[in-house]
Structure 1
Amino acid sequence: MRYIIEAVANLDAKLLERLTALLADCVNQGASLGFYRPAQTERIVNYWQATSKQLENKDKQLFIAFDEQNNVAGTVQLNLCQKQNGCHRGEVEKLLVDPTFQRRGIATHLMKALEAWAQQHGIQLLYLDTQTGDKSESFYRAREYVLSGTIPSFVTDAQGMLHSTSVYYKELR
């Protein structure tokens, strides 16, 4: 099956609904994405509405993988640094792949699209964080992201238990 990766600048109501469902599915499957299980739809809708404003302001780039039937298979975001001395860097956020589409290379294609866009727009450094011990760490290492370090007690789970986060970076030279 083929997938098309598109940079999306506007979230209409239908796409907002599809992205809300995708994020909720990923959270409910156990992904550490800033939301507790079970996913609360109102919080996720608020998140996407705020993201929509960032897209309109060009503070963020959103890449979406669509399948041949125009279903949202996955997405990733690049948060652009707004500081004058940081315009060469960007933060990778919310790499999501619909659980029914996982293990098909979609995350890799999304990251390649994000990295290519970043290079074309003068971004030289990407960074991200993920919960320490999460399966995503091996994915990022395979994509040549380097572990910078860990921050203890960075996030909590729904039970209030503290977890560390691992910070990774990649230079795009």
Structure 2
Amino acid sequence: MSPARPHAPAWTIRRVEQLSPGQTEDLAALLVAVVHGGASVGFMAPLSLEKARRFWQGVDAAVQRGERALLLAALSDEDTHAPGRVVGTVQLVLDQPENQPHRADLAKMQVAPEMQRRGLGAALMQAAEDTARACGKTVLVLDTVTGSAGDRLYSRMGWQRVGEVPGYALWPDGRPCPTTYFHKQLT
């Protein structure tokens, strides 16, 4: 008989209207971890905690102005050593030009390295789509590194590939990487 698999930590996903200091710290640590893990999310390595904090403080201000929707995934399992710790996030950029009030950009999806391949990314995507619908959005767009885990996830979740731009962004170590654009029509 094979040993039982350890219980995977559970999470809750919710939209926040304002970040607490603890959430800001968790998000800063998450951003540093994903950048140092090689994710191309707009920052170069090495990324300092202070720079990551400033980024999240700016996001928090945009959320409070109603320009963005911010979703956080936090550990909820009582068996963990850090219940409430933020382990994933995604944003919807709601503030669009006046001829695009029906559209939002999905941005900065991040999952803590130790939580990857457990369904959290898909859960965050579904929560983002549900939030977009609740905000009256019918078209979502995003971009991601071509061939990345995100690229595969978005395809599995029914997002439509638009095209690829070679050398669009940089990996955190400075090498160029291609980017793929996706869209999803919400019904």
Equivalent-residue separation in structure 2 for 1:159 and 1:104 (angstroms): 27
Number of paired residues? 173
In the alignment, which residue of structure 1 is the partner of 2:35? 27
Structure 1 unaligned blocks of 5 or more? none
In the alignment, which residue of structure 2 is the partner of 1:149? 163
Q: Which amino acid aligns with 1:168?
A: F
In the alignment, which residue of structure 2 is the partner of 1:93? 107
* Preserved CA contact (<8 Å) 2:39 2:171: no
Equivalent-residue separation in structure 2 for 1:13 and 1:26 (angstroms): 20
TM-score by length of 1: 0.93
Q: 1:119 to 1:48 in 2, by over 3 A?
A: same
Q: 1:159 to 1:131 in 2, by over 3 A?
A: same
**Do structure 1's residue 50 and structure 2's residue 64 form an aligned pair?**
no
Superposition misfits of 4+ residues, deviation over 3 angstroms: 157-161
Q: Which amino acid aligns with 1:57?
A: R
The alpha carbon displacement at 1:158 in A equals: 4.9
Equivalent-residue separation in structure 1 for 2:24 and 2:14 (angstroms): 15
In the alignment, which residue of structure 2 is the partner of 1:6? 14
In the alignment, which residue of structure 2 is the partner of 1:84? 98
Q: Percent identity?
A: 33
The alpha carbon displacement at 1:127 in A equals: 0.6
Range moving further from structure 2, 102-111 or 36-45: 36-45
Secondary structure of 1:103's counterpart equals: coil
**Do structure 1's residue 75 and structure 2's residue 93 form an aligned pair?**
no
Equivalent-residue separation in structure 1 for 2:50 and 2:85 (angstroms): 22
Range moving further from structure 2, 87-96 or 146-155: 146-155
In the alignment, which residue of structure 2 is the partner of 1:128? 142
In the alignment, which residue of structure 2 is the partner of 1:63? 71
User: Over residues 1-37 of structure 1, what are the superposed CA-to-partner deviations in whole Å (9 max), with x where a residue is unaligned?
Assistant: 4321110111122211110001111111111111112
* Preserved CA contact (<8 Å) 2:70 2:90: yes
Equivalent-residue separation in structure 2 for 1:92 and 1:18 (angstroms): 21
Q: Larger Cα Rg: Structure 1 or Structure 2?
A: 2
